Amino acid sequence: MAKYRRRNAEAAILRALKSLGGSASRDALRDSIAEDTESGFTYEDVFNRVASRNGKKYNPFDFDFNFGINNLYATGYVEKPERMKDIILTEQGRLRQSINFPTDKEKAIIDRYWKKRIAINREKETPRQRT
């Protein structure tokens, strides 16, 4: 078995959402991506678990998948992802072709989104000093 290679999953997620009617659970999306020979991911990529250095099992695809969903949200192609809810394409997402994602403009939007998220998380973990 070949080692999993990290890569963007946004195009595969867009493609899967469109084939599933614009709304699907995360499990249904993973299944669709694994079954789609043109997704760029094999069944093993999507579902195989590996052992971390400390021996715990995890699925490396899940990192790419979850970041991909957030990147699609940042660019306005899916509605805000919520726990235990389907991922839903926006009208903009329905019109977007999955090839060539992300464009330079979309990369800039994604970078701003993650910088903002990092800043918010840092603010949460740093206790505020009161004067």
Query: For every residue of 58-127, which 3-state class applies, written as one string?
Result: ECCHHHHHHHHHHHHHHCCCECCCCCCCCEEECHHHHHCCCCCCCCHHHHHHHHHHHHHHHHHHHHHHCC
The predicted-structure confidence for 23-65, as pLDDT tens digits, reads as follows: 999 999 999 999 999 999 999 999 999 888 888 999 999 999 9
Per-residue pLDDT, 127: 65
Residue of 2 and 7 predicted with greater confidence: 7
10-125 folds as: Arc Repressor Mutant, subunit A (1.10.10)
CB 76 within 8 A of CB 92: yes
pLDDT band, residue 131 (cuts 50/70/90)? very low
> Model-level pTM?
0.86
- Check residue 28 and give its pLDDT: 96
pLDDT in the model for residue 110: 94
Domains of the chain, residue spans: 10-125
Residue 72: which of 52, 50, 45, 92 has the closest Cα? 92
Mean pLDDT over residues 108-124, rounded? Answer: 91
Q: Which residues pair with 50 in a beta bridge?
A: 58
pLDDT at 1: 57
Q: Is 29 exposed, middle or buried (0-12, 13-18, 19+ CB in 10 A)?
A: buried
71 has a pLDDT exceeding 90: yes
Of the candidates 113, 111, 90, 115, the one whose C-alpha atom is nearest the C-alpha of residue 22 is 90
Average pLDDT, whole number, for the chain? 90
